[in-house]
Amino acid sequence: MDCRLVVNSLSNYLDGSLLEAEVRLLEIHLAECPPCNIVRLELAEIRSAARELPLHTPQRALWKRIQLSIEVGESQQGKGREAIEQPGRWSRLMSRHFTFTLPQLAGAGALVLALVGFSLFNLSRHAGQPLNIQGGTGPSLIQAKAAMLPGEPEMREDIERRMSILNARKAAWDPPMREVFDSHLGKIDESLNHCRRNLLANPADQDHQQMVMALYEEKLRLLEDFDKLK
Amino acid sequence: MSVMLAGEQANNVTVEATNVTASDYELAQAAARGDMEAFEALYERHHRRVYSLCLRMVANVTEAEDLTQEVFVQLFRKIGSFRGESAFTTWLHRLTVNQVLMHFRKRGVRLEQTTEEGEMQDVVQVGSERPHSMPVIDRIALDKAIAQLPPGYRAVFVLHDVEGHEHEEVAEILGVSVGTSKSQLHKARMKLRELLNKKL
């Protein structure tokens, strides 16, 4: 048997994973080859010494570190959970998409055209008077109060209540957070104004009625989400 | 007041005595209910074994202490899920190994090594080089030699020869084949032999 082959099989031999025939051949070789036998003895020594290695002891301060880490972890668990949830809400807000049905989309298309015409008309009549799209109290919405949809007053009341709470907190928000909030709110209010104007022209338009209520719900969800962010 | 203090002291002694005699499972249950003394008792019992395993696997004192800390923090968080179906030591051992492997993964350590600086030459170092087999191995020298092994060899050697896992278990833990485990173990032993012979 070749010495190289024998040495390469020594670990398997020591671990008892060779076949009987292989063991016999190997032992014959070992009996006749002192160098290979020395390797066997040395590997066997390493193998048995490894089982008796002493245990090491870490620094005594390690327990204090662990204790502190657990205490900090426990106290921050609530905060941590919130922090984990916050990016979720945040990313949800960042990635929020407005989903509309086909009739609503068709209505929206018509609305854009109507809006352009209406805007031009309005601008020519009220030159220099800006449209208020943030507060929901612009001229078009004031006019719209005359034709409130079912459930709309309650929805608006709820929105106004939440808005006043959030407005009080808004100053403490990070600028990017304010920017996202304003941007989303702006889009919703803009769409609301468009729908409202369209409903003024055609109060029986069910698509726009649905859109108005859907937009109020969207606005409410936005306010709720930001309210949860604290 | 002094009576109360004496009473408290007696209570502490009782708690400590209880913790000394309590089984790992009992301590684990108490720790799961937030009993830090029970958890400390578990730490006292097992921290050296956990630390030694971490140290042998990563071969770095600071990293081993950090890992030990992480293991016990994880243990505290998960201890409620210990149902006593397996021995606590087995459960803790697995938790420790997982933590070490996660550490390896974070650092991009490859455990399946085929060619690197620790690769063995298949040439037999003949007996003429050293007329006698090495005397009883100095355990400290062996520990130091283990630390010099490449991570892949070291992991297999520690799990198989030090911790007593079978090749099938080592292969499963490290995510390698049984053949790789056997081959790496042999190379690890040969490398240790070479390192120890250099020192003697």
SS3 sequence of A119-153: HHHHHHHCCCCCCCCCCCCCHHHHHHHHHCCCCHH
Q: What is the mean pLDDT of residues A36-43?
A: 94
- Phi and psi torsions of B59, nearest 5°: 55, 40
Mutate which: A17, A39, A48, A57, vs B, most B CBs within 10 A: A39
Q: With beta carbons less than 8 A apart as the criterion, state whether A14 and A44 touch.
A: yes
The token duo for B110 is 């490859």
Distance (Å, rounded) from C-alpha B52 to C-alpha B64?
A: 8
- Helix B2-21 with B36-58: angle, nearest 10 deg: 50
Q: What is the mean pLDDT of residues A198-208?
A: 78
pLDDT in tens, A115-136: 767 666 665 555 544 444 344 4
What fold characterizes domain B24-106? Rna Polymerase Sigma Factor; Chain: A (1.10.1740)
Please answer yes or no on whether B192 and A55 come within 8 Å at the CB atom: no
Q: How far is CA B42 from the centre of its chain?
A: 16
- Phi and psi torsions of A128, nearest 5°: 85, -10
- Does B153 lie at the interface with A, CB-CB under 8 angstroms? no
CB under 8 A, 24+ apart: contacts of A52-57: A52/B139, A53/B52, A53/B56, A53/B139, A53/B142, A53/B143, A53/B162, A54/B139, A54/B140, A54/B143, A55/B48, A55/B49, A55/B51, A55/B52, A56/B48, A56/B51, A56/B52, A56/B55, A56/B64, A57/B48, A57/B51
Q: What is the mean pLDDT of residues A76-100?
A: 48
Q: Residue A187: enclosing H or E segment and its boundaries?
A: helix A175-201
pLDDT of residue B133: 54
User: Distance (Å) from the C-alpha of residue B103 to the closest C-alpha of chain A?
Assistant: 18
Distance (Å, rounded) from C-alpha A150 to C-alpha A135?
A: 21
* B196 vs A contacts (CB less than 8 Å): 42, 46
Q: What is the CATH number of domain B139-198?
A: 1.10.10.10
| ipTM of this complex prediction, to 2 decimal places | 0.80
pLDDT in tens, A187-200: 788 788 877 777 77
Cα separation of the two ends of chain B: 65
From first to last of its 200 residues, chain B has per-residue pLDDT tens of 333 444 445 555 555 666 678 899 999 999 999 899 999 999 999 999 999 999 999 999 999 999 999 999 999 999 999 988 789 999 999 999 999 999 998 887 777 655 444 444 444 454 444 545 565 678 889 999 999 999 999 999 999 999 999 999 999 999 999 999 999 999 999 999 999 988 65
pLDDT of residue A131: 41
Q: Positive or negative, the Cα torsion across A109, A138, A186, A226? A: negative
Distance (Å, rounded) from C-alpha B156 to C-alpha B162?
A: 9
The mean pLDDT value of chain A amounts to: 75
